[in-house]
Amino acid sequence: MKIAVAVDHGGYGLKKQVLQWLSAAGHEALDLGTDSPESVDYPDFAVRLAQVVANGECEHGILVCGTGIGMSITANRVAGVRAALCTDPYMARMSRAHNDANVLCMGERVVGPGLARAIVEAFLEQPFEGGRHARRVEKIMALDREDRE
Ligand code: RB5
């Protein structure tokens, strides 16, 4: 899979490791920054990543900031994006199985690197279950279309 990764200064410490985990699992990563621990504005990075997921350039995205909250709020404003803020592997699995999440958000100040790796692996390994969940996800996606009308 091609997976976009973006972080702000609050998530910068995890970025290199996330890129390494993706490569070790055989995925292609698109690194969208940030590229230093300098303070930046998380919406700039969340929108850039959300757009490459929404336009199909990348199948999934991973966003990291201090808490994951700002990244998830921002990414979910972009039509076509279903961003899930996950703090454990169960949430990551369920976000794929039931919500067909296409962006994973994490907080570097919330989860340690070992837990972050388990969250990333759970997110990437779990397929969407479809069925009744597809109907519910379609209701979410209909909101994007209403917004544009
Ligand atoms: C930056 O200090 C911090 O606000 C940001 O990384 C994130 O946690 C926002 O939600």
Per-residue pLDDT of the chain (149 residues; tens, 9 = 90+): 999 999 999 999 999 999 999 999 999 999 999 999 999 999 999 999 999 999 999 999 999 999 999 999 999 999 999 999 999 999 999 999 999 999 999 999 999 999 999 999 999 999 999 999 999 999 999 999 887 66
User: Is the pTM here over 0.75, yes or no?
Assistant: yes
**pLDDT at 146 (0 to 100):** 85
Ligand 1 neighbours, Cβ below 6 Å, are 8, 10, 42, 65-67, 69-70
133 flagged as catalytic: no
SS3 category, 114: helix
Please tell me what DSSP assigns to residue 106.
Answer: E
Among the options 58, 65, 86, 105, which is catalytic?
A: 65
65 flagged as catalytic: yes
CB atoms within 10 A of CB 39: 9
